[in-house]
Amino acid sequence: VEKIEEQLAGLRIAKRCTPSEEPAYLLDIDVSKPAQSPSSCFVAVSCSNKSIRVYNRETLNFLREYSGRPGILSGVFSACSDGTVKCWDVRLATQKAVQTFSGYPSNVFISFDINCSDLIICAGTEKVEKDTFLVFWDARGITDCASAAKEPLGVYSESHNDDITKVCFHPIEPNLVVSGSTDGLVNVFDINKDNEDDALISTCNSDSSVSFIGWSGKGYKQVYCMTHDEGFCWWDMAQLDTEEPITLLHVLDVRDTACVENHSLHYLVGGLYHEKAEKLFLLGGTSTGNIHLLSCSTDGLSLVGTLCGGHSATVRSFCWNLRDESLLTGGEDAQLLLWKPGAVERSLGKKASLKIASSVQERVRVHNSSLKSRKK
């Protein structure tokens, strides 16, 4: 574990993307799975100007942009505010989606994921009147028939009563999915069950609006979440059928407890579970762009290291790569950075500040669709 923590603390900037002509917040990052070869990997970034930009994962060279497609990313998929989930083939220069998955008329999707077998898509909606849905589709389809939108397999409509801000499938069990909402609930489902009541395995209450969820622990039997007021909750699903409490740790405000002495923490970004170390780490930061790495244990959170000199404003998104221990980060300074252990940056020095003028109005961190349709 100490070696892993040394590696994390030793991350340095290896690459940074060339600034775009139209700067925008980088809200979400995801990478294509290296199914063919590592050299064919892409990284997709959703931006505050309602576009998705695609870069080479290793060089951060800009490849193409899909405009007017607001949404949350998962590989080459995005969930859109027009009530659809779209799939693009990043190898093609076309602006047209190769698959479209349509929801119901009132649906505005603000979260989604695809399961580890790439067969099922699940998306969470905003609350419209009294309705909040988890919508499911079969991800398989004819990719040259984009004009025919795929209808849902079905929905779960009873388990949340407010916006579903996060959906996350289990990394190795394709039938398990966890959802988080502004109602404070984190629900674990087994979608192989016949109905929603039977599918609901566990309901955990974070007591606050959920901003991030993930799986951790050996065999990924644990679930954790972060909240919009910078709280952290961690539960052990393996304890569900025992007399032991399932709560491993509940921190009401990480800003008050996690960092020591001169290391301030302003917000949390997300978490990453390191399989080799069998350890959960959290990523947070400061409004000036410093990134803090925190180690989790049942005794509390401790600072592993701080990454400085990369970003000049709030970091909004990241993607961790276990294969080469690298970290991608994106922020309100419009920068996409690649960090690697012991790297030496060979590009031009960063500008003093790439802060975007509109950031003052948009500093308030609601869930990760913070620039969604209702914010005019």
Amino acid 142: pLDDT: 52
118 close to 139: Cβ distance less than 8 angstroms: yes
Domain 1-341: CATH superfamily is YVTN repeat-like/Quinoprotein amine dehydrogenase (2.130.10.10)
Concatenating the DSSP letter of every residue in 203-215 gives EEE-SS-EEEEEE
Which residue ranges make up each domain of the chain? 1-341
**Taking the model in full, what pTM does it have?**
0.85
Q: Which pair of structure tokens corresponds to residue 301?
A: 């959170």
Amino acid 260: pLDDT: 55
Give the SS3 label for residue 358.
helix
Amino acid 60: pLDDT: 92
CB contact set of 237 (below 8 Å; sequence gap of 6+): 188, 201, 202, 221, 222, 223, 246
**Dihedral sign for Cα atoms in the order 55, 336, 291, 339:** positive
Which residues make beta-bridge pairs with 279?
274
Amino acid 259: pLDDT: 59
Amino acid 375: pLDDT: 38
Q: DSSP label at 304?
A: E
How far apart are alpha carbons 178 and 190 in whole angstroms?
Answer: 9
Neighbours of 325 (CB within 10 A): 18
Amino acid 247: pLDDT: 96
How far apart are alpha carbons 130 and 107 in whole angstroms?
Answer: 12
How far apart are alpha carbons 120 and 140 in whole angstroms?
Answer: 8
Please list the rounded mean pLDDT of every run of 10 residues in the chain (376 residues): 77 89 85 53 85 88 74 59 78 75 88 92 92 92 60 94 96 97 97 96 96 96 97 96 94 80 83 91 93 93 90 94 88 94 66 40 36 36
- C-alpha distances (whole Å) from 104 to each of 50, 85, 111, 148, 301 are 22, 12, 15, 15, 42
Amino acid 135: pLDDT: 95
